[in-house]
Amino acid sequence: IVILPSVTRVDAYLFSNGTIDTCNPGATAGSSACATSQLQVNGFLMGTNLQFNRLGPVDSSGAQVSEKITLNPQIYLNPPKFFDAITNAVLQAQGEQPPLY
C-alpha cells in the first residue's frame, strides 16, 4: 500500500501482507518530495513492513512529526466482520507479537 505525498488524511483500517509506505513519490521525484505536511491516519496500520518516510517540515530544531496515527478503540471493542480472518492471514498465524523497538 502506497500513500502519495499529496495525501494528508486517511480514514481507514489498512492491512497488507507486504509494505505500507506513508510517502512514496515515485521513481522520478526526489527525496524532498516527502518533506510534506503531516499525514493524519484515523484508523489502523498493519503490515509485514511499515515505512514511515515523511520528513515533515524542517526548521531550526530539525524535522517535525510527520505521521500521526489515531487508533479508534472501537476496533477492539467491536471489531469489523472477518477481522480475525484478516489479521490471522497478515500475521501468518503467528498471533500477537511483542513490539519491535
Whether the Cβ atoms of residue 50 and residue 81 lie closer than 8 Å to each other: no
pTM of the model: 0.65
* Tens place of pLDDT per residue across the chain (101 aa): 999 888 999 998 888 889 999 887 665 444 577 777 789 999 888 888 998 888 776 666 766 778 888 887 777 666 666 665 555 555 565 656 677 66
Provide, for the chain, the percentages of residues in helix, strand and coil under a 3-state DSSP scheme, each rounded to the nearest 5: 15, 30, 55
In angstroms, the Cα distances linking 49 to 32, 34, 54, 80 are 22, 18, 15, 23
Distance of alpha carbon 41 from alpha carbon 56, whole angstroms:
15
